[in-house]
């Protein structure tokens, strides 16, 4: 491994502090980054190197290096970290990153989407992204990638004018979550699932995501996007693609991403009648009153932005033509939970249907993405005793019991390490996003042009 300079653009922000720098430290403390690594935070806020180091040191954790060596590692990490103040659109500001040495470079865009393209252009014009002899440059871009097909294409065109597609790593942190990465292993390493992974055996696949909190002061960003753009079009659709894609010929990034694109192109664009939208109003949870979405001071008056959506998607290919896919996402619901539920078909001609208890329930395979990562298989089993009674029980693989919970990495650790190693399999290619936007753009335009009002639901509801 050569020299590496990793520049976090927007380093004063929430994501940089809570996720990116802690993940960088975790990788550094495990010796997974090159020996000659340097971290630079870039933003407009006024920090000295020292003040910036103090700020990020608050969120670093010793999970991989418990004990005394942690302090030493932290000192080493912080000594390699500096801060550069500048305006995002000012190419001169980035020239200060140039030091005449050829080194590998990663630019991590952790900034609001409205300034992605201007930042990229200024950075490109500065020359700071030139890798130099034998070195490489990679650019990590955070979602959201546009608001619809047209704005994505425009943004992409501007980014591609500065950075070749091979440099660009579009990050969807859901793809770095252990359980999401496990979907491929579950499907393709366990021979038993291969012959039953189709419409003939699977009745429905439900993908759901819920939060038990509201927007809490982030309405400025969220209101411009809404739950479909913020969660469904990226995180949930990516999970669906991994669950439903054809087996790739290899684990190469190109093969996996080709399979995902094929699957996304097989999904019919949504019609308004396939999508239900909601917005939370105030509600009482455990005796505490929580404000509604419209009550948040950062949300514009009379906002029509959905905070909940449920939809039926149709995957029109031979494997899935009779399976129902539903996707559901909501804020301010009863629980924080994200899971994939695969419901197998029941049979009315099962020999046990002749017993008093009726036919056995269909089997279910549940992939719990968060919290409490794990896999559950619901199976019908005999109740002990003389009579032939049966009951549904769960075979449970809870990750924190099966593995040392401390070593389950954070999504950002997995993904940043992949960027360093040049593995793009968990990053989103432009044609995947185009296919994803083609599914949602018509229905999003319909809701907006017709000012469709989302249905009210109380904070804390179970939907």
Ligand X SMILES: NC(=O)c1ccc[n+]([C@@H]2O[C@H](COP(=O)([O-])OP(=O)(O)OC[C@H]3O[C@@H](n4cnc5c(N)ncnc54)[C@H](OP(=O)(O)O)[C@@H]3O)[C@@H](O)[C@H]2O)c1
> Which tokens hold the place of 52?
């910036």
> Looking at beta carbons only, is 19 or 429 nearer to ligand X?
19
Site string for ligand X, 69-98 (x = CB under 6 A): -------------------x----------
Helix locations, 284-410, DSSP H: 399-402
> In the bound complex, what is the minimum distance in angstroms from residue 316's beta carbon to ligand X?
31
Q: Are 326 and 276 in contact (CB under 8 A)?
A: no
Q: Which stretch binds ligand X (CB under 6 A): 105-113, 272-280, 423-431, 432-440?
A: 105-113
Contact 55, 17 (CB under 8 A): yes
Active site residue 235: yes
Coil, strand or helix at 371: coil
Residue nearest to ligand X (CB): 13
Report how far residue 34's alpha carbon sits from residue 55's, in angstroms, rounded to the nearest whole number.
Answer: 24
Q: How far is the CB of 410 from ligand X (least distance, A)?
A: 12
Of residues 111, 256, 369, 419, which one binds ligand X by CB under 6 A?
Answer: 111
Largest CA distance in the chain: 83
Whole-angstrom Cα distance, residue 246 to residue 249? 9
| 20 vs 281 by CB, closer to ligand X | 20
From residue 123 to residue 142, the character string flagging contacts with ligand X as x (rule: CB under 6 A) and all else as - is -------------------x
Looking at the Cβ atoms of 84 and 162, the one nearer to ligand X is 84
CB of 385 to ligand X, least distance (A): 52
Residue 14 touching ligand X (CB under 6 A): yes
Contact 287, 309 (CB under 8 A): no
Give the nearer residue to ligand X in terms of CB position, either 143 or 368: 143
Residue 103, classed as helix, strand or coil, is: coil
Contact flags string 33-72 toward ligand X, x per CB under 6 A: ----------xxx---------------------------
347 Cβ contact partners less than 8 Å away, ≥ 6 residues apart: 353, 359
End-to-end CA distance of the chain: 50
Q: CA-CA distance, 307 to 232, in Å (whole number)? A: 11
> Could you tell me the smallest distance in angstroms from the CB atom of residue 255 to ligand X?
27
Q: How far is the CB of 259 from ligand X (least distance, A)?
A: 25
For residue 6, the minimal CB distance to ligand X (Å) is 16
Q: Which of 7, 10, 258, 342 binds ligand X (CB under 6 A)?
A: 10
Q: How many residues bind ligand X (CB under 6 A)?
A: 19
Strand partners, 309: 277, 329
DSSP 23: H
- C-beta of residue 148 within 8 angstroms of C-beta of residue 441: yes
> What's the burial of 50, exposed, middle or buried (CB within 10 Å: 0-12/13-18/19+)?
exposed
The answer to whether the CB of 420 falls within 8 A of the CB of 136 is: no
Question: Can you tell me the distance from the alpha carbon of 333 to that of 197, in angstroms, rounded to the nearest whole number?
Answer: 31
* Residue 327 binds ligand X (CB under 6 A): no
Tell whether residue 336 is a contact of ligand X (CB under 6 A): no
Provide the minimum distance between the beta carbon of 90 and ligand X in the complex, in angstroms, as a whole number: 12
> 81 or 110: whose CB is closer to ligand X?
110
**What is the rounded CA–CA span in Å between residue 171 and residue 419?**
10
Query: Considering the rule CB under 6 A, would residue 12 count as an interface residue with ligand X?
Result: yes
- Decide if residue 13 touches ligand X (CB under 6 A): yes
DSSP-derived secondary structure for 169-205:
EEE-GGGGSHHHHHHHHHHHH-GGGGGG-STTTEEEE
Residues 379-398, one symbol each (x = binds ligand X by CB under 6 A, - = not), give: --------------------
Q: Which two tokens stand for residue 453?
A: 């009002």
Interface with ligand X includes 22 (CB under 6 A)?
no
DSSP 349: T
- The residue (of 141 and 309) whose beta carbon lies closer to ligand X is 141
If one asks whether residue 143 binds ligand X (CB under 6 A), the answer comes out as yes
Query: At its nearest, how many Å lie between ligand X and the CB of residue 390?
Result: 45
**Site residues (CB under 6 A) for ligand X?**
10, 12-16, 43-45, 88, 110-113, 115, 142-144, 173
Residues classed as catalytic: 235
């Amino acid at each position: 491994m050569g020299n590496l300079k990793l520049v976090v653009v927007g380093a004063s922000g929430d994501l940089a502090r809570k996720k990116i720098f802690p993940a960088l430290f975790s990788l550094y403390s495990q010796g997974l980054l090159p020996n000659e690594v340097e971290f630079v935070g870039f933003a407009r806020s006024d920090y000295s190197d020292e003040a910036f180091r103090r700020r990020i040191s608050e969120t670093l954790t010793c999970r991989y290096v418990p004990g005394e060596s942690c302090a030493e590692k932290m000192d080493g990490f912080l000594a390699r970290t500096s801060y550069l103040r500048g305006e995002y659109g000012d190419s001169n500001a980035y020239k200060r990153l140039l030091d005449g040495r050829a080194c590998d470079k990663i630019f991590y865009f952790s900034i609001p989407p409205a300034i992605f393209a201007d930042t990229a252009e200024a950075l490109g014009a500065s020359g700071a992204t030139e890798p130099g002899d034998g070195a490489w440059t990679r650019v990590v871009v955070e979602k959201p990638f546009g608001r619809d097909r047209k704005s994505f294409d425009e943004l992409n065109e501007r980014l591609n004018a500065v950075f070749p597609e091979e440099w660009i790593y579009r990050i969807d942190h859901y793809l770095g979550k252990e359980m999401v990465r496990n979907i491929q292993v579950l499907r393709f390493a366990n021979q038993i699932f291969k012959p039953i992974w189709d419409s003939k055996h699977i009745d429905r696949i439900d993908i759901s995501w819920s939060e038990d909190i509201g927007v809490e002061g982030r309405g400025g960003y969220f209101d411009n996007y809404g739950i479909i753009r913020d969660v469904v079009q990226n995180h949930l659709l990516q999970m669906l693609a991994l669950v439903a894609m054809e087996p790739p010929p290899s684990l190469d990034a190109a093969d996996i991403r080709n399979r995902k694109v094929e699957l996304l192109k097989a999904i019919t664009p949504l019609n308004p009648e396939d999508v239900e939208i909601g917005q939370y109003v105030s509600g009482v949870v455990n005796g505490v009153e929580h404000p509604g979405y419209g009550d948040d001071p950062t949300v514009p008056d009379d906002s029509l932005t959905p905070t909940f959506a449920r939809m039926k998607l149709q995957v029109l290919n031979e494997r899935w033509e009779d399976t129902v896919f539903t996707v559901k996402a909501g804020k301010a619901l009863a629980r924080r939970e994200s899971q994939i539920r695969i419901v197998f078909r029941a049979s009315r001609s099962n020999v046990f249907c002749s017993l008093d208890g009726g036919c056995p329930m269909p089997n279910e395979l549940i992939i719990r993405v968060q919290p409490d990562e794990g896999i559950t298989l619901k199976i019908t089993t005999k109740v002990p005793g003389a009579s032939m009674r049966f009951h549904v029980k769960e075979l449970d693989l809870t990750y924190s019991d099966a593995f040392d919970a401390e070593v389950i990495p954070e999504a950002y650790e997995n993904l940043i390490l992949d960027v360093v190693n040049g593995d793009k399999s968990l990053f989103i290619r432009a044609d995947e996003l185009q296919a994803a936007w083609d599914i949602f753009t018509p229905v999003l335009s319909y809701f907006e042009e017709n000012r469709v009002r989302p249905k009210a639901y109380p904070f804390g509801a179970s939907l």
